[in-house]
Amino acid sequence: MSDEVLDGPHGALRVRVYTPDNPAGPGLVWAHGGGFAAGEIDMPEADWVARSFADRGIVVVSVDYALAPFPRTWAAAADAPERDGVHYPVASDEVEHAFRWAVDSGLADGPWSIGGASAGGNLATGAALRLSHGSGPVPALAVLAYPTLHAVQGGPDAALRSALDADPEADTFGPDPVRVMYENYLGGPVDDADVYAVPGTASVDELRNFPATIMINDEIDELRVSGEAFGASLRDAGIDLDISTEPGTRHGHLNKPDLAAATASIDRFARRILATSPENKEQP
């Protein structure tokens, strides 16, 4: 493991590189979650996830992207100080820059995928979409863990609503909190956001060249509505999609390495990442 400081699009950008003892070929650029305004590369959703992928032979570049301001309401709830920060497109640009750097770095012999968890899944998706609209390089695979992809989120179906009602501690990502989270990230109204900030709004035509995608959502999590809606759009665009729900999980299960569900998700993700290398195509 080593830290690198890149000449990023908005100043210095730290990335952490995890090099496997026995590289299998491919690489992954990874972005942690935290509502765009929290989280860091030492949290399990970044460090444990990256180590777990490296243990399976995948080179990982974990991105220490710039955070949005820490909102007053969050600070009060966490008994923490408010914090200044940056707004879109800074973090999105940084994740894209890290991917371009990784592809040119020589760190991995195989193709590079891009991915992230929760808000990091948004950043990875937005970067992949932007890359697919330009000259590339386009990621071999998008790896999304319980992503948030819509600033204006639809309501849950009756089964999910019932599960959330039965587990109030899991009921934290309804439409109003999600809109507030995006307004804080954007620094303005969600209606003014472009498709790379809110990639769940991408049209079928805008998704035509999006990479193959694997997505694992949490079961008792209203953000599953966003992930599943984006999955439907990917299917309509003819994109190769592997989408599933990890049973019995609340939002953010990759932050809990002791859960069997966390390891199960890593295993499923890793199989798909490894299969992006031609020599590994026989993997299930």
Sign of CA dihedral 65, 27, 146, 182: positive
Residue at 59: amino acid letter: V
Give the rounded percent of residues in the chain with a pLDDT score beyond 70.
97
Which pLDDT value is given to residue 283?
A: 44
The answer to whether the CB of 100 falls within 8 A of the CB of 126 is: no
Q: How far is CA 18 from the centre of its chain?
A: 18
Query: What's the burial of 59, exposed, middle or buried (CB within 10 Å: 0-12/13-18/19+)?
Result: buried
Average pLDDT, the chain: 95
Residues 6+ apart with CB under 8 A from 76: none
Which pLDDT value is given to residue 58?
A: 98
Q: Which two tokens stand for residue 234?
A: 């990917």
24-35: per-residue pLDDT in tens?
A: 999 999 999 999
The answer to whether the CB of 41 falls within 8 A of the CB of 4 is: no
Which pLDDT value is given to residue 206?
A: 98
92-133: per-residue pLDDT in tens?
A: 999 999 999 999 999 999 999 999 999 999 999 999 999 999
Q: Per-residue pLDDT for 78 more than 90?
A: no
CA distance 61 to 185: 23
CA distance 146 to 126: 15
All structural domains of the chain: 2-277 (3.40.50.1820)
- Kindly list the distances between the CA atom of residue 181 and the CA atoms of 12, 30, 69, 156, 279, in Å, as whole numbers in the listed order: 25, 21, 10, 18, 42
Helix axes 119-133, 90-105, angle to 10 degrees: 70
**Residue 77: band (very low, low, confident or very high) from pLDDT cuts 50, 70, 90:** low
The DSSP letter of residue 211 is P
* Rg for the chain, CA atoms, rounded: 17
Find the helix or strand (DSSP H, E) in which 74 lies. Answer: helix 72-78
Nearest 5°: phi and psi at 178? -65, -45
Q: Per-residue pLDDT for 74 more than 90?
A: no
CA distance 128 to 141: 9
Place of tokens 């990023």: 8
The DSSP letter of residue 251 is T
The answer to whether the CB of 40 falls within 8 A of the CB of 78 is: no
Name the more confident of 279 and 36: 36
Closest CA to 209 of 275, 133, 111, 124: 133
**Residue 73: band (very low, low, confident or very high) from pLDDT cuts 50, 70, 90:** confident
Average pLDDT over residues 51-63: 98
Query: What's the burial of 276, exposed, middle or buried (CB within 10 Å: 0-12/13-18/19+)?
Result: buried
132-164: per-residue pLDDT in tens?
A: 999 989 999 999 999 999 999 999 999 999 999
Residue at 265: amino acid letter: S
Which pLDDT value is given to residue 281?
A: 61
Q: Which two tokens stand for residue 166?
A: 């039965």
Which pLDDT value is given to residue 75?
A: 61
Give the rounded percent of residues in the chain with a pLDDT score beyond 90.
91
Which pLDDT value is given to residue 23?
A: 97
Which pLDDT value is given to residue 284?
A: 44
CA distance 38 to 258: 22
